[in-house]
């Protein structure tokens, strides 16, 4: 399938991703997954005025021609003016589902970092674990931080839903 066909096709939910001619199906989110998406987006709402950080849920992003990813939560610095951003989010958050394979998740995180995303995070609602993906790979952490803005998100803030 060509990318133009992908955009013209009406997809059933959850909308699939796209890489180099291949439609990549995504797992059906559970209620808990959806709650975590909302909770993570809500955490960033107070920072929209003070730091110009704008969260969104499940928005398609064009990482390069032929590569469309849909992060569970993305946070842009500055409000995007286009329907499908083609520039890096400031933060991308993947929330693990029961059927997620870690190798696939790490591959997506690597694509986000290569695209220029400053902070790539993973939230595991089942284990209540937090991970950061950086140039050294995936690391479990005690909190999710954006030091340049003084943001420190603890498990209590994230998993209280």
Which of 52, 90, 56, 54 lies closest to 70, judged by CA? Answer: 56
Whether residue 119 is predicted with pLDDT greater than 90 in this model: the reply is: yes
Q: What does the pLDDT look like over 30-75, one tens digit per residue?
A: 899 999 999 999 999 999 999 999 999 999 999 999 999 999 999 9
Cα torsion through 95, 79, 46, 117, rounded to 10: 40
Residue 3 in domain: no
pTM: 0.94
Residue 114 in domain: yes
Whether residue 15 is predicted with pLDDT greater than 70 in this model: the reply is: yes
- Give the domain extent around 117: 28-158
Residue 117 in domain: yes
Confidence at residue 161, expressed as pLDDT on a 0 to 100 scale = 65
Residue 14 in domain: no
Residue 100 in domain: yes
Q: Specify the CATH number for the domain of residue 43.
A: 3.90.1570.10
Confidence at residue 130, expressed as pLDDT on a 0 to 100 scale = 97
Confidence at residue 12, expressed as pLDDT on a 0 to 100 scale = 86
Please state the domain count of the chain: 1
- Per the model's pLDDT, the better-predicted residue between 127 and 99 turns out to be 127
Provide the phi-psi class of 60: left if phi over 0, else alpha when psi is between -120 and 50, else beta.
beta
Average pLDDT over residues 97-113: 93
């Amino acid at each position: 399938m060509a990318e133009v066909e992908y955009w013209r096709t009406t997809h059933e939910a959850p909308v699939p991703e796209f890489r180099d001619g291949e439609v990549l199906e995504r797992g059906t989110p559970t209620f808990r997954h959806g709650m975590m998406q909302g909770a993570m987006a809500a955490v960033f709402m107070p920072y929209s005025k003070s730091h110009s950080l704008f969260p969104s849920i499940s928005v398609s992003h064009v990482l390069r021609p032929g590569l469309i990813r849909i992060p569970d939560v993305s946070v842009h610095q500055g409000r995007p003016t286009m329907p499908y951003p083609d520039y890096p989010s400031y933060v991308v958050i993947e929330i693990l589902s029961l059927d997620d394979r870690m190798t696939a998740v790490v591959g997506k995180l690597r694509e986000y970092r290569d695209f220029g995303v400053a902070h790539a995070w993973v939230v595991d609602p089942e284990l209540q674990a937090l991970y950061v993906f950086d140039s050294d790979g995936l690391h479990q952490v005690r909190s999710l931080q954006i030091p340049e803005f003084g943001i420190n998100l603890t498990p209590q803030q994230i998993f209280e839903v």
